Amino acid sequence: MFDPLEPESTDQVQFHFEDRRLSAPRGATVASALLGAGITAFRETPVSGAARGPFCLMGACYDCLVSINGVTVQACMTPIEEGLQVCRVRPRLTENEDKA
């Protein structure tokens, strides 16, 4: 099992978060890789646009949602893989908000 304090391997995986190229130990989750890189805001809330980041780190709260290669997933439950394209999840405007 992966322990972020004692990585099983020094093997690094390269991935992108928005416009940044990052690396993390193989076996890490996307959440631990982003937190390790100093990134704490993973998404924005739909109502206020407030920044949200990992809270429970066990898949119960959904605060760590990110978009990976165009699919929204929980970062704490997703293993890091070579070449992933990770982006923040931003709320979509509804049709009424678009016209305001």
Domains in the chain and their CATH numbers? Answer: 12-90 (3.10.20.440)
Count CA atoms closer than 13 A to 8's CA, side-chain side.
6
pLDDT at residue 34 in the model: 97
Q: Write down the pTM of the prediction.
A: 0.80
- DSSP-based three-state secondary structure for 84: coil
Please give the Cα distance from 67 to 79 (Å, whole number): 14
Mean pLDDT by 10 residues, the chain (100 residues): 55 95 95 96 90 93 93 96 93 56
7 burial class (0-12, 13-18, 19+ CB within 10 angstroms)?
Answer: middle
CA angle, 15 then 10 then 67, to 5°: 20
Please give the Cα distance from 3 to 27 (Å, whole number): 9
